Structure 1
């Protein structure tokens, strides 16, 4: 069933108001220089939906475009087609806004924010920079005879300006396309509210949306920090717990990483052009040469900011979840959490006893080191054993610790069970370390991300631990956790 025009308009306005609330919360962060937010701003041209006023840096001007579904991408036709017979195309309107806002050497920061995807089959749009979201830098390098070069000429001709002038505008127009839908934006707003000690459940987020809506309908378009603080107090949004958010962008980027307290971006360090293919680093030395130090640096930042609770999110594989748990470890007087299957899994819950099955040790006789396989989601025993026998690793014993009664996707149902599982695994590994006298553990994981995070969080009094990426088939060394 298709949504009515009125329903789509309401969703679009709510999305814009949620986006405005997300930026208004920046006023409460001492590290930001945001002094105000204006909704449907005057004299802002086409980028007037949300304007972020900054003390020192350039103001940020956003146009927010919401779509009820993903059937219509931001393509060439969208850029050059006027909405009405006498109107201007979006590209012409962005140019007009650029001219309006550029004065006395000042260059505005403009952004198109939309949940609609971008059409990467278009030679111009395909050159969007993955980090900055702009078209200018890569489009500037296109040869005039190439498809992108000819497209650049057509764009400039459509606007009626020189290519160099168009490129300067595109340098300052950030295309935030393919952004998460309502639920994803709610998650990021919730992160930002928790970081400034506000209530952060869905009801609290909705209160923020209602605050923006009330300001707009009440003809108050611009809000400063004082007005924001008064509205927060009036709506009872002050919370008791202050929580940082750490986003680790391992195999894919998070569209709302900017809202996190700390954000790490490793995507370009991996081989592969798709998240499913990103399993190995282009330079394996970076596991401990860059990635682990960045996690440790993130922990120092969190401590310096005075946080003792950390919500971890991001797109990464199990070794990275485990290593993140180690970096934000229990010995650092921190509490960690993540969202697993819609539930909050945190280290602050009371664990319940979790049964595990410990296999009979396989004695490989290749050395004095210990290999441990954790079978929670899938049984990895045969795959790991084949890898160990085909490698030159000095492993003398291999033990599998499996969820009882059997590995499955639902073997660990909730946070108390996850903490119980992590404690049970830790005990078995310590027992095996004592029995073998090993100085190094090789750890292979198959299980939920939240379980890996909590296990890493508790990992202590264990020798140096080598983690492995599952290459399906085979394995490759990842992080080496110091003992």
Structure 2
């Protein structure tokens, strides 16, 4: 890959503008979603560089009943300036007030009459893990509280609070009140934010391709150039029609997070947050529930999800971070026989795409089949080997655990060695899911129980679960990366 040249002043300025227009387009999408979802007190208009709201005027979500959300957007060309005390409290380049001082003054002005306000600092800069207050930021909320308030006046946090309060021109009590409503949305780089916005666009029923996203952001820029500071529902709907962005019906959003917080959870119709209920310090090590939490409890939460979504839901997008066994269970929970169009964003050869169970294909894709004799019983083990080949690990587990299986059936892409690009897109994933299901229907007709091991894209696990009907009882295993290798996670009646 050719290296890009160092960014010049014009590049930095135009990229920073595009970053702000993306944040504003996100606000427009939130308005559309809250309006179509008939939420109580939805966003009624989006302010862009709105007059009269101080330094938090870049993007404003305006509601009939407070709090409104006031956002300051800060773009950086590199990672040289993390968000920490120095960044927030140093004077501006021309010697003016610091970022923290400007935010504090704006907050005091917005709340002078006893009102309330929701504040955001959005930037692609990351938090400084060595900073006394920033290190306590809650990744789920973006707030520094409650940890910022922990510790006495002589503690490192207490001393930092005093310095922040002095720079902000606030008492320490006022600073704590400010930190209760000031969200730090950090490390929000352009590529990751574009992916989030494409998910939002798909959920609203808009085109979710890169061109559509850039057209939406470009429309915001055009409105600003024309001096329009307040974007209404009627204006946004007219832009959607003019740009030809409409693609289909809106989708309900189900957020399920077990590995790391889901940035879309606050926009979801229902959210299942198990991040703190899974064992491990990072999303690479979180593979099983942390005792006393159990797989059975997670299964109950997932299987109850359809009843938590809006009545009449016919299309659902899954967001969040889950491993393969939970993804398969989500698919079986919204099985195709329920008439639900189930989808998720999946990275593929051409970037992230919405993989949907409604995406058409011409012919089912028959998998490659390898059988290994076990001879320990009359049940069957099945390994889906699409991204990697887990055969030897599964064989070792079956023998060590003395599972009552007669053989292991390994199913692979028909003409491909398992690798990360074996399934290029949603069409191929649906075709392969149907091919796998049809093969297992024929080959396991007389089997009473199947043991399923997955090594495939998360989206394929979801689509496969969605097609999993007219099969025997299935025990789904999760790769837990310990001496045991695998662990039974869920039992599905198919």
Task: Identify the residue that residue 434 of structure 1 maps to in structure 2.
Answer: 445
Task: Identify the residue that residue 360 of structure 1 maps to in structure 2.
Answer: 371
Stretch moving more, 84-93 or 269-278: 84-93
Please, which of 301, 311, 315 is the counterpart of residue 309 of structure 1? Answer: 315
Alpha-carbon distance between aligned partners in 1 of 2:469 and 2:292, rounded to the nearest angstrom? 25
Please, which of 112, 115, 121 is the counterpart of residue 112 of structure 1? Answer: 121
**How much does 1:269 deviate?**
1.5
Alpha-carbon distance between aligned partners in 2 of 1:143 and 1:433, rounded to the nearest angstrom? 65
Please, which of 327, 334, 353 is the counterpart of residue 340 of structure 2? Answer: 334
**How much does 1:303 deviate?**
6.0
**How much does 1:177 deviate?**
0.8
Task: Identify the residue that residue 299 of structure 1 maps to in structure 2.
Answer: 306
Alpha-carbon distance between aligned partners in 1 of 2:284 and 2:195, rounded to the nearest angstrom? 23
Q: Is the 8 A contact 2:384 2:411 kept in 1?
A: yes
Stretch moving more, 138-147 or 270-279: 138-147
Q: Which residues of structure 1 form unaligned runs of 5+?
A: none
Please, which of 6, 9, 14 is the counterpart of residue 10 of structure 2? Answer: 6
Please, which of 117, 120, 133 is the counterpart of residue 142 of structure 2? Answer: 133
Q: Is the 8 A contact 1:242 1:307 kept in 2?
A: no
Alpha-carbon distance between aligned partners in 2 of 1:444 and 1:239, rounded to the nearest angstrom? 36
CA offsets 1:89-135 (integer angstroms, 9 cap, x no match): 11111111121111332221111011111101112111112222111
Q: Does 1:224 align with 2:236?
A: no
In the TM superposition, structure 1's runs of 4+ consecutive aligned residues that sit over 6 Å from their partners are: none
CA offsets 1:154-197 (integer angstroms, 9 cap, x no match): 22233343222211111110111112x22332333333333333
Task: Identify the residue that residue 397 of structure 2 maps to in structure 1.
Answer: 387
Please, which of 392, 409, 412 is the counterpart of residue 402 of structure 1? Answer: 412
TM-score normalised by L of structure 1: 0.90
Could you say what secondary structure the match of 2:444 adopts? helix
Task: Identify the residue that residue 430 of structure 2 maps to in structure 1.
Answer: 419
**How much does 1:259 deviate?**
4.1
Task: Identify the residue that residue 476 of structure 1 maps to in structure 2.
Answer: 487
Alpha-carbon distance between aligned partners in 2 of 1:200 and 1:252, rounded to the nearest angstrom? 24
Q: Is the 8 A contact 1:264 1:294 kept in 2?
A: yes
CA offsets 1:45-94 (integer angstroms, 9 cap, x no match): 22111111112240111101112233321122101101145411111111
Could you say what secondary structure the match of 1:47 adopts? coil
TM-score normalised by L of structure 2: 0.89
Could you say what secondary structure the match of 1:371 adopts? strand
Q: 1:464 to 1:55 in 2, by over 3 A?
A: farther
Aligned residues: 477
Task: Identify the residue that residue 195 of structure 1 maps to in structure 2.
Answer: 203
Q: What is the 5 A alignment of 1:153-172?
A: 153-172=162-181
When the two chains are superposed, the root-mean-square deviation of aligned CA atoms in Å is 2.5
Q: 1:360 to 1:208 in 2, by over 3 A?
A: closer
Could you say what secondary structure the match of 1:206 adopts? helix
